């Protein structure tokens, strides 16, 4: 599976050169009108103040806080992995582990589905990779047409903390590509923190999972790609 589905703008920007430090909500990160508050920050008079607990980062004029914990906030174009929780007359209800339920219309199925036999394609408990089409008050709409999307078969899924997903993907997918290369596994990462792994055998799948869990436990470390390479070397 190719990496187009891992949104480039969600991936880590240059992580090696900028410094980061921990901030708590209400803490002033920088002061001055020159700076622009971005994700996880707000402006209070002169100051740019953190509104989440995480690592503050200033790149150019933009100030942001990368949160260490936190739930997944659905946004348009996010790729998510969810399980089917219910079947309705016009589509499937998908649990994507966020506030509100997601709906996958029957038209999104890659082939014609008889409305009486919808469980033949997706039954309750089955896993899908889908893209968020819209986030509205009444719920979230999903689409499944696209490369790498669709029903997931074989392998397994597990969860990491959603705010650490960018780190697992790495800069332009460098981290996930390294893990794919070293283990020979197919890996799909949902922005909601659920990850699907399918590999040639169980051992490499377990290894891929351990590698990802190693990355998520070291989010604050810089130069992580080398560390992961080192980790792989130690495993043998």
Partner 1 sequence: MTGMETSNLTKEKLRKMFAEGKRFDGRELLESRDFEIEYDVSNKAEGSARIKMGKTDVIVGVKMQVGEPYPDSPDEGNLMVSSDLLPMASPRYESGPPKFDAIELPRLVDRAIRASDIIDFKKLVIEEGKKVWTIVADIYPINDDGNIIEASSLAALAALKNAVFPEIDKEGKVDYDKKTKNKLPLAKEIIPISFSFYKLGDSIILDPTREEEEACDARITFGISNWNKQIMLNSCQKKGKAILTSEEIEKIMEIIPKKFEEFNKKLKKFL
Q: Pick from 104, 209, 211, 224 the residue near partner 1 by CB under 8 A.
A: 209
Instruction: Choose, by CB under 8 A, the member of 155, 174, 214, 216 that binds partner 1.
Output: 155
Q: Shortest distance, CB of residue 161 to partner 1, whole angstroms?
A: 12
Closest to 5 in 3D by CA, of 103, 104, 128: 128
Q: Is 159 in the site for partner 1 (CB under 8 A)?
A: yes
x/- contact string, 99-138, with partner 1 (CB under 8 A)? x-----------------------x-xxx-----------
Q: Which residues contact 167 (CB under 8 A, 6 or more apart)?
A: 12, 175, 215, 216, 219, 224
Sheet holding 41-44, edge to edge: 28-31, 47-50, 41-44
* Shortest separation between residue 79's beta carbon and partner 1, angstroms: 16
Integer Cα distance of 86 and 146 in angstroms: 23
3-state helix, strand, coil in the chain (%, to 5): 25, 35, 40
**Token pair for 25:** 């909500």
Single residue of 158, 172, 217, 221 touching partner 1 by CB under 8 A? 158
Binding residues for partner 1 (CB under 8 A): 71, 82-83, 85, 95-97, 99, 123, 125-127, 152-159, 194, 196, 202-203, 205-206, 209
């Amino acid at each position: 599976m190719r990496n187009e589905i891992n949104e480039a703008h969600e991936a880590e920007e240059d992580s090696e050169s900028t410094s980061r430090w921990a901030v708590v909500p209400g803490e002033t990160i920088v002061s001055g009108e020159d700076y622009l508050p971005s994700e996880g920050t707000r402006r209070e008079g002169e100051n740019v103040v953190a509104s989440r607990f995480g690592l503050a980062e200033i790149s150019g004029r933009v100030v942001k806080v990368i949160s260490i914990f936190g739930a997944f906030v659905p946004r348009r174009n996010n790729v998510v992995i969810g399980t089917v929780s219910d079947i309705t007359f016009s589509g499937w209800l998908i649990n994507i582990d966020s506030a509100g339920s997601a709906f996958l219309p029957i038209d999104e199925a890659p082939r014609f589905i008889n409305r009486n036999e919808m469980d033949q394609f997706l039954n309750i408990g089955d896993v899908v990779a889908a893209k968020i089409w819209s986030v509205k008050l009444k719920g979230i709409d999903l689409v499944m047409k696209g490369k790498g999307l669709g029903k997931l078969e074989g392998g397994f899924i597990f969860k990491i903390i959603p705010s650490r997903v960018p780190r697992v993907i790495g800069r332009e997918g460098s981290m996930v590509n390294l893990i794919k290369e070293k283990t020979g596994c197919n890996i799909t990462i949902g922005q909601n923190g659920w990850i699907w792994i399918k590999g040639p055998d169980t051992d490499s799948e377990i290894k891929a999972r351990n590698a990802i869990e190693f990355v998520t436990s070291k989010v604050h470390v810089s130069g992580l790609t080398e560390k992961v390479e080192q980790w792989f070397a130690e495993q043998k």
